[in-house]
Structure formats: C-alpha cells, structure tokens
Structure 1
Amino acid sequence: MNPHNTIAIEELGKPYFVWFEENWRHDDILHTHEKGQLVYVESGFQYITVDGKIYLLPQNHAAWIPPGSLHKTNSHSEKIKLMIMFADVEKNSVFHHEINIFSVPPVLKEMIKYSERWSKSTVNDPDEMIFLQALFNELPRFVEHSLKLHISLPEDKRLSKPIEYLHKYYQEDIRIEDISEISLLSLRTLERIFKKETGMTLSKYQQILRIIKSLELLSSGDLTISETAYKVGYRSVQAFTRSFQSVMQSKPTDFVKTTQ
C-alpha cells in the first residue's frame, strides 16, 4: 500500500523501476513497497524514517530500504536531486532484507547516473533489466564498510519532553540534571530508559544531533567549517573536527559543498 504514488510501481510488471527528480518533493506519509528501494542523494540532504528510526542521507550517500519496511522520506533542503530505484529481491537474500546507509563509491555513482536514461520508463527494456540486475547484485560489495548514521526516536512517552528539549537546545551545554528535572525522572531512571530506547547515552545522542545538523549546514554551502562548528555548539574547530571524525569516519572537508 502506498498512498502517495503517482505511478503504480507494483502494477507495472517490471522487476526494476528508476525514478529521478531534479527537485524532489515529498508528502511525508509513511508507506511500504513490495519492492526494495535504493535512494541516492546526488545533492542536498534527506531524512528517511524506516521502521521507527530516523536516518540521515548527506549528499553522495544512499539508503537501501528493504521490501515491506514502513518508511517515509522528507527533506529540509531547499533543493534536492534524488534518484530512487525499485527492485524485486530474492526472499533468501539476507542483505536485501536489512536497512543500509552508505557512502556511494565512484563506480556505483556512475552506474546510478547511467540509469537515469530509464527514469520513469514503464516499458520492459532488456538492456535496463541486465544493467540494473548487475547493479543490485553488487550492492552488498558496495556497502561492506557502510556507516549507519541514525537516531532512534523513543517510544516511551516519558522521554517525549527530554527528546524535544535535546532537539531544541542541542547546541547548548546541556546538564543532565536539567533534563532529569524536565522529565520528572531520577537521573538513574532517565539514563536507563534513554539508553534502552535510543541505544545511546544522552551525551552521545547530543553529539549525533550536532553532527547531523553540521552535515545539513555543510551541504547547504552557506557556512564555512569554522562557522558551522560554532553554530552547532563546539567551542573550537579542533573539537568539532575530532567529534565529526569519530562519528563519520571522515573529515568535515569531505562534505563541504563545492560548485561543480
């Protein structure tokens, strides 16, 4: 069931379907597909919610969304170039039934770009099928060293106010005592529930929020690395770079928007 599809992808009788947009617009509705889905961000940045977790896709990153996963995509970028590719996958393929977020290597980037020629094509083309079969077959090799950059929104209602506070004031020096007060929970209870629900500590969650926000700012191209560091709450560029590298396993300069 997909309430927002303008093209009934499942009814086309094609194993693969390519959809490219220069300026993608989303309606932010949770839905599922019978096919698996590869989402590639050429420029801009994209948030994807899959089965209750929020993933960030900076430019030149892709997400593999398994068939049947409840998901929605939305973006705060003013302009986003996006490629979405749907594929039938084998039931016994472990890889194709797990979410993966990964940086796109040059060879895959070229393959995705080449696939644009079949964008929105509803006809069965043997060349398209052979090419895309090779692309999806190689995906597991492309994502061997993938990085899952995501935050999980907690289901426990007691964490609603703390999460809201963290998202609003992530750039401030947040004291855990203040969050404990807001949530009406003891420090110990707050830390235990937070770790159980999100898989990370409060300070780690704040760090991830800062890095995610910095990726938004860097991909917009409006701020320098130094300005970005201070904007998201770091007191020095060195501290920001260290934090960024520990999360992203690459440097902030790799994500600075360059004019083509």
Structure 2
Amino acid sequence: MNASDSINIDELNKPYFVWFEENWIHDNVLHHHQKGQLVYVESGFQYITIEEKIYLLPQNHAVWIPPNAVHKTNSHSAKIKLMIMFAEVGAQESFYHEVNVFSVPPVLKEMIKYSEKWSKLMIRDHNESLFLKALFNELPRFAEHSLTFHISLPKDKRLDKVIEYLHNHYHREIKMEDLSDMALLSFRTLERIFKKETGLTLSKYQQMLRIIKSLEYLSSGNLTISETAYEVGYKSVQAYTRSFQAVMQLRPTDFIKTIQ
C-alpha cells in the first residue's frame, strides 16, 4: 500500500502529515509529493529509488526526500516498520532540497515515535503542528553526519545488460573487460560512458554493490561480519573491512552499533 493510493497528500489542508504502518507494503510506482518526506525504518530494511539513485535504509536510519523528488520503494525485508512523515518546506536551508540518508539519534527516534499519536490524522491539529514544526526545524542538525551509500542507475540503454549482470553477479570475481561484449563497445568506451552515467568505474560500482548488500545483511542480524564478508564476495574479513571503511568512513562494527 502506498500512502498516496488512498490519501492524496498534496490535497491535505495541513502543513504536516504522519503515516505509520506495521509491515508496510508498497507498490513500486514512481511518484512525487509537493511536501518533503521523512522515511524512518524502525525495524527491517528498505530500498528506495530517488531521482534514479537507489538508496538502502537499514534499521534505525532515515531518509529525507525533498519536495517533488520522483521516488519509489523497492524490495524490502519480510517484516518492516516504516514511519513516514510529510512536511511543507519553503526556501529554507539547502538541507531540505537535497536527499539525505542518516542514522537516527536517540532524541529524534523518540520524537518520531511520539508522533505516532497523530498517525493518519486528516484534520489540522495545533499540538501536532507545533511539535512537528520543532522536529523538522531541527532535522538538519539531527542529520549532520549524513551517509552517502547510494548507486546511480544509468540512462544509456547500451549499459542495461552490463548493469543487470553487475547486480546479479556482484559477489563473483568479474573480469571487467568481458563486460564490453555485452554492451557491444570497446572496453575503453564502456568505461568512459559508464563513469559519465554513474560517476563510478565498473570496479568501483561493483564495490558499492557489495557494500550496500552487506549493509542489508548486517542490518538483518542474521549473519556475522565474517559471514557477510564472504557472502558478498570478499575473500577475507580484512579485505571487506578495508573496502567497507573506504566507502562508509566507518568500520562494520561501528555500523552495527548504529542499528542496535
């Protein structure tokens, strides 16, 4: 279920709207809202595509989606609790007009959970407006240490088979030169177009896929760091830790602390 299917968010005559669900099930249709949107994952994990970039929201993380940003939800864990809040934002600081993914600090987590009392409230409520105005006013401070784990989807159709192959075989040893045959391009041309479209080389893109997938495994709590490393294709925990730290700017053990 998508909130916009049964409630037109943009037609609500109120500056904020709270929408909480247990085991939230979305369709995967691209859409947008005039209001900005805060999505918080209390439990489970969720993939979200925003403006042709795929983001992973692990447990206890949130994403701020700017007003009018085209987005959709993708695959998610079997059981997920999402807390979604919409807010009108004006010409405020740049934070509100950019995508931000961040670990939710305890005080914001408590504020979000407190907001559940107004879930699906269709009419204006003075106390709701006062409380949520304070929450969204402080959101840039709560998200000061934003994370950037996302990958871009290329628009060039010549890269479709290459992208599909990388997404399906990221955990294997891939000879990148062989991918040029799929695209019917020379390897040099493929690398140039791929980097222009995604901002990454083929090998860096594979690294990002591995790390993002490992975040999913770590947030599920079903695999140890060592098991996760081998599951996503690393031959040693040390190699995985180095790669993780290069992408995330923190160690896997530090990341686990943020989701507990």
TM-score by length of 1: 0.93
Give the Cα separation in 2 of the matches to 1:204 and 1:180.
16
Unmatched runs of 5 consecutive residues or more in structure 2: none
Please tell me whether residue 147 in structure 1 is matched to residue 154 in structure 2: no
Please say which of residues 44-53 and 191-200 is displaced more in the overlay.
Answer: 44-53
Q: What residue is the counterpart of 2:137 in the other structure?
A: 137
Contact 2:64 2:100 in 1 (8 A): yes
Q: Deviations over 1:105-145 (max 9, x none)?
A: 22211211111111111232211111100111111112222
Match of 1:223, as an amino acid? L
Q: What residue is the counterpart of 1:109 in the other structure?
A: 109
Unmatched runs of 5 consecutive residues or more in structure 1: none
Q: Following TM superposition, by how much is the alpha carbon of 1:98 offset from its aligned partner in structure 2, in angstroms?
A: 1.4
Give the Cα separation in 2 of the matches to 1:232 and 1:5.
36
Please say which of residues 118-127 and 148-157 is displaced more in the overlay.
Answer: 118-127
Q: What residue is the counterpart of 1:214 in the other structure?
A: 214
Match of 1:7, as an amino acid? I
Cα gap change, 1:205 to 1:258, in 2 (>3 Å): closer
Q: Please show how residues 1-260 of structure 1 align to structure 2 within 5 Å.
A: 4-256=4-256
How many equivalent pairs are there? 259
Cα gap change, 1:16 to 1:259, in 2 (>3 Å): closer
Query: 3-state DSSP class of the match of 1:34?
Result: coil
Q: Deviations over 1:142-173 (max 9, x none)?
A: 22221121101100111111111111110111
Give the Cα separation in 2 of the matches to 1:259 and 1:17.
26
Give the Cα separation in 2 of the matches to 1:65 and 1:259.
21
Q: Following TM superposition, by how much is the alpha carbon of 1:199 offset from its aligned partner in structure 2, in angstroms?
A: 0.5
Aligned-residue CA RMSD (Å) = 2.0
Please say which of residues 62-71 and 141-150 is displaced more in the overlay.
Answer: 141-150
Give the Cα separation in 1 of the matches to 2:160 and 2:8.
37
Give the Cα separation in 2 of the matches to 1:142 and 1:3.
25
Contact 1:220 1:257 in 2 (8 A): no
Identity, in percent, stands at 73
TM-score by length of 2: 0.93
Contact 2:102 2:143 in 1 (8 A): yes
Q: Deviations over 1:195-221 (max 9, x none)?
A: 000001111110110011111112222
Q: Following TM superposition, by how much is the alpha carbon of 1:242 offset from its aligned partner in structure 2, in angstroms?
A: 1.5
Cα gap change, 1:3 to 1:251, in 2 (>3 Å): closer
Match of 2:74, as an amino acid? N
Query: 3-state DSSP class of the match of 1:21?
Result: strand
